[in-house]
Amino acid sequence: MAAAQPLSYSSVRTYLECPLRWKFLYIDKIPEAPRGYFSFGRTIHSVLEEMLRPLVEPSARTTAVGVSQRTLDEWRGGLGAPPPGRLWSPEEMLETYRKLWVPDGYLSPEDESRYKRLGEEMLLGFHATLGVHPPRPVAIEAHLEARWDGIPVHGYIDRIDRTTNGGLEVLDYKTSRELSREDAVESDQLALYQVLVEKNFSDPVERLTLYHLRSLTPLRTPARPKAALDSLHERVGIVSDGIRSAAYEPTPGRQCGRCEFRGRCPEFREVPENERRKMSELVDRFRELRAREGELERELKATAEALHNEAERLGVHRVPGSQGVALRRRQETWTFPAEVVGPLLEAHGLPPASVGVDSASLRRLIRDPKIDGELRRRVAEAGGRRLQWYWELEDA
């Protein structure tokens, strides 16, 4: 069943953008056409994974029953010796890059070559940074799962590093053109990864980082405070509830421009040729009735008012017509201003919350002989009565 599927960041984002698109992707499993920039991202991620995996020191404590999340102050380990694994040479890295290249979805051979060169530059630049700032990965491409207050979530985390303070840094590589610190600060993806790491490791998450590979810039932010995680949990909860109740309505918006499912989407599908005439007639009839709707409403109101005035003048509530009888009915509504009634009740030792300040409760109070007469009189005076007359029709 769909509700049992653990939710990933992209699944949550897709559902919030458009539940129908989510259904096409995650339930119907309709594949999307490959795109060059996705293939490019996959290739780069794979090379970094292969290259950094030998450097992993699995020194972070994973959670187990009875082990609670520790704080940064509790770290006593220090960073110790450099990682045991050997860093590849640039040539080895580029050889793997060529082997792992995913050729799908590029617009043309020129487009693919341009991306290939960009990837080489990116990887060589990244490799050079490793000598200056050797990473301390405790996990690479970690697939983590957790139940977040009852909601199953999961994610593949590019890298988790040990920080000099003994905490953990959660990193996500980005190959996109532009990326700002704001993106890192607002990233729900990083926030969800923080939750996953906190639930799977007992060492504290200290930093969340989007690593912009084109500029070789780590955009670092502190771990999210509880309020930010609560706000994300609320949105994940909306998605989980929506999926559980099979709510898959399309929500058209800017995202439709890049949606491959427009041909299947009721917002964009065309009426079949052989149905057009019948549907067009229905639409025309609907327009016609809609136009008369307002006119009829006005006429109905004016007639009811004329009938009311004449019945009032004659002092009658039953007015026979040729096919039935019109019955004049009365509806009474009372309103009591809370700012007047509240203090009155308080002054008589009746807390408004216990009595109730809705009009039904107050009208009961006015009629209750056990309540002080003075209070009942003053509450009644504070109230305003509104009478509305309406007509019912009875067949002859």
State the residues that interact with ligand SF4 by CB under 6 A: 18, 20-21, 250-252, 255-256, 259, 261-262, 265, 267-268
Residue 24 Cβ, how far from ligand SF4 at the closest point, in Å? 6
Residue 257 Cβ, how far from ligand SF4 at the closest point, in Å? 8
Q: Which residue has the tokens 């129908």?
A: 20
Residue 352, both tokens:
């408004």
Which backbone phi and psi does 10 adopt, to 5 degrees?
-70, -30
Pick the closest to residue 9 from 166, 222, 128, 153 (CA basis). 153
CB environment 99-116: b (16+ within 10 A), e (fewer): eebbeebbeeeeebeebb
Pick the closest to residue 54 from 132, 134, 167 (CA basis). 134
Residue 32 Cβ, how far from ligand SF4 at the closest point, in Å? 11
Please identify, using beta-carbon distances, which residue of 204 and 250 lies nearer to ligand SF4.
250
Please identify, using beta-carbon distances, which residue of 265 and 311 lies nearer to ligand SF4.
265
Please identify, using beta-carbon distances, which residue of 253 and 337 lies nearer to ligand SF4.
253
Pick the closest to residue 126 from 158, 155, 102, 99 (CA basis). 158
Please identify, using beta-carbon distances, which residue of 229 and 256 lies nearer to ligand SF4.
256
Please identify, using beta-carbon distances, which residue of 264 and 328 lies nearer to ligand SF4.
264
Helix (H) or strand (E) holding 384: strand 384-395
Residue 238 Cβ, how far from ligand SF4 at the closest point, in Å? 17
Residue 256, CA atoms < 13 Å, CB-side half-sphere? 14
Residue 297 Cβ, how far from ligand SF4 at the closest point, in Å? 34
Residue 278 Cβ, how far from ligand SF4 at the closest point, in Å? 25
Residue 253 Cβ, how far from ligand SF4 at the closest point, in Å? 7
Residue 10 Cβ, how far from ligand SF4 at the closest point, in Å? 14
Rounded to 5 degrees, what angle do the CA atoms 224, 190, 257 make?
130
Rounded to 5 degrees, what angle do the CA atoms 17, 19, 21 make?
85
Q: Which residues pair with 153 in a beta bridge?
A: 7, 146
CB environment 47-65: b (16+ within 10 A), e (fewer): bbbbbbeebbbeebeeeee
Q: Which residues pair with 392 in a beta bridge?
A: 327
Residue 19 Cβ, how far from ligand SF4 at the closest point, in Å? 8
Please identify, using beta-carbon distances, which residue of 15 and 88 lies nearer to ligand SF4.
15
Please identify, using beta-carbon distances, which residue of 33 and 396 lies nearer to ligand SF4.
33
Q: How far apart, in whole angstroms, are the C-alpha atoms of residue 95 and residue 64?
A: 40
Please identify, using beta-carbon distances, which residue of 24 and 115 lies nearer to ligand SF4.
24
Q: How far apart, in whole angstroms, are the C-alpha atoms of residue 376 and residue 379?
A: 5
Please identify, using beta-carbon distances, which residue of 20 and 362 lies nearer to ligand SF4.
20
